[in-house]
């Protein structure tokens, strides 16, 4: 059994029937269900619900805990963790069309971030980059922008998103949120990303000193990149080619067990919401 789990679910393409949604929402904790109900738009409910279901599927399949005995709590940094168990590590992220989970069957610092390779900010790209200036080192900006007229806007946006996913995965693995000086976190990429392989040669420098972390990067499709940050305690990590497995609804829910009775009223409230702004 692999000790490394990488799952992706395209929630944007998942348009559940009332019955499917009602069943899925009954398979997560009550506190999670309450939080999901506060989302204004359906798209946010689905993206986040999938993350809860992926976490529960991961723990159920890779520990001896029955589905209905799994309890998630928030740690001091508001990160979901498995109550009373440190032998598994996991992290989820959602952005663009995907929700992703990275899991390890061991206690390790781990973070994941998925990014859609797009810019929807409304301002010109140069103005956006000016506003974001303090979040990247000079060397990173050189990678993102390239030298004069070397890179198209599309290429610059893709490299910006790649660097942002790397930073997010790292600060999520640390568990501190983005409170560190992002300019001191200096990523240096060495390879292009592709859909069918995992790039592991990106290096992290902090204040000029190379750090002992491993970053797995890949493309889920032509429009989404994902980065997994792992604190590298031994070199065996480098032996893995941890590509993401794409889940469908049937696979996601295969071993799920309802934790609560079906809730038609909650389901009706979900379908009454707008899909998006």
Domain boundaries in the chain? Answer: 1-108+239-277, 110-232
The rounded distance, in Å, linking the Cα atoms of 4 and 214 is 13
Residue 157 CA to residue 165 CA, distance in Å, equals: 12
- Best-predicted range by mean pLDDT among 12-16, 63-67, 107-111? 12-16
Is residue 235 pLDDT above 60, yes or no?
no
> In this predicted structure, what is the pLDDT of residue 276?
94
Give the separation between CA 232 and CA 89, rounded to whole angstroms: 14
> CATH code for 1-108+239-277?
3.90.470.20
**Residue 174 neighbours by CB distance under 10 Å:** 16
Q: Is the pLDDT of residue 213 over 80?
A: yes
Band (pLDDT 50/70/90 cuts) for residue 3 is confident
Give the lowest-confidence range in 8-17, 73-82, 121-130, 135-144.
Answer: 73-82
Q: Percent helix, strand, coil in the chain (nearest 5)?
A: 40, 25, 40
| Interior angle at CA 21, CA 25 and CA 93, nearest 5 | 65
Quote the pLDDT of residue 184.
Answer: 82
- The model carries a pTM of 0.94
Q: Can you give the pLDDT at residue 107?
A: 85
Looking at domain 110-232, which CATH architecture does it have? Alpha-Beta Complex (3.90)
* Mean per-residue pLDDT, 217-245: 82
What contacts 257, CB < 8 A, 6 or more positions away? 27, 66, 67, 68
Region of poorest pLDDT, from 82-86, 184-188, 243-247, 268-272: 82-86
**pLDDT tens digits, one per residue of 132-185:** 999 999 999 999 998 766 789 999 999 999 999 999 999 999 886 556 677 788
Distance CA 237, CA 233 (A): 8
Give residue 199's pLDDT. Answer: 95
Please give the pLDDT value at position 64: 83
What's the chain's average pLDDT?
A: 92
pLDDT given for residue 251 in this prediction: 97
For the chain, percent of residues with pLDDT exceeding 70? 93
User: What spatial distance separates the first Cα and last Cα of the chain, rounded to whole Å?
Assistant: 43
pLDDT per residue over 249-258, tens digit each?
999 999 999 9
Residue-wise pLDDT tens digits, 239-251: 566 899 999 999 9
Residue 167: which of 156, 180, 154 has the closest Cα? 180
**For residue 87, what are the CA distances in angstroms to 3, 55, 58, 214?**
11, 14, 13, 20
Of 67-81, 175-189, 213-227, 230-244, the one with minimum mean pLDDT is 230-244
Tell me whether domains 1-108+239-277 and 110-232 share a fold.
Answer: yes
The two structure tokens encoding residue 80 = 């979901």
Q: Is pLDDT at 263 greater than 70 in this prediction? A: yes
What DSSP state is assigned to residue 243? Answer: P
Torsion of CA 158, 161, 165, 167, to 10 degrees: 120
């Amino acid at each position: 059994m692999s000790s490394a789990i990488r799952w992706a679910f395209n929630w944007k393409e998942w348009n559940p029937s009332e019955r499917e949604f009602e069943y899925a929402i009954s398979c997560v904790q009550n506190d999670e269900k309450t939080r999901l109900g506060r989302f204004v738009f359906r798209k946010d409910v689905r993206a986040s619900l999938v993350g809860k279901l992926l976490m529960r599927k991961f723990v159920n399949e890779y520990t001896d805990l029955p589905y209905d005995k799994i309890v998630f709590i928030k740690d001091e940094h508001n990160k979901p963790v498995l109550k009373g168990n440190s032998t598994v590590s996991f992290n989820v992220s959602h952005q663009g069309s995907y929700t992703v989970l990275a899991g390890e069957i061991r206690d390790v610092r781990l973070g994941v971030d998925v990014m859609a390779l797009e810019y929807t900010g409304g301002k010109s790209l140069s103005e956006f980059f000016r506003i974001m200036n303090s979040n990247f080192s000079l060397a990173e900006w050189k990678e993102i922008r390239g030298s004069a007229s070397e890179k198209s806007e599309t290429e610059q946006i893709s490299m910006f998103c790649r660097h942002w996913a790397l930073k997010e995965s790292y600060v999520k693995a640390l568990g501190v949120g983005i409170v560190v000086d992002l300019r001191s976190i200096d990523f240096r990429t060495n390879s292009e990303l592709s859909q069918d392989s995992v790039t592991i040669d990106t290096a992290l420098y902090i204040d000029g000193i190379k750090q002992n972390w491993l970053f797995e990067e890949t493309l889920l499709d032509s429009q989404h990149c994902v980065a997994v940050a792992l604190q590298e305690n031994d070199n065996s990590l480098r032996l893995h080619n941890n590509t993401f497995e794409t889940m469908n609804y049937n696979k996601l829910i295969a071993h799920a067990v309802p934790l609560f009775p079906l809730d038609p009223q909650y389901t009706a409230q979900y379908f009454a919401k707008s899909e998006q702004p």
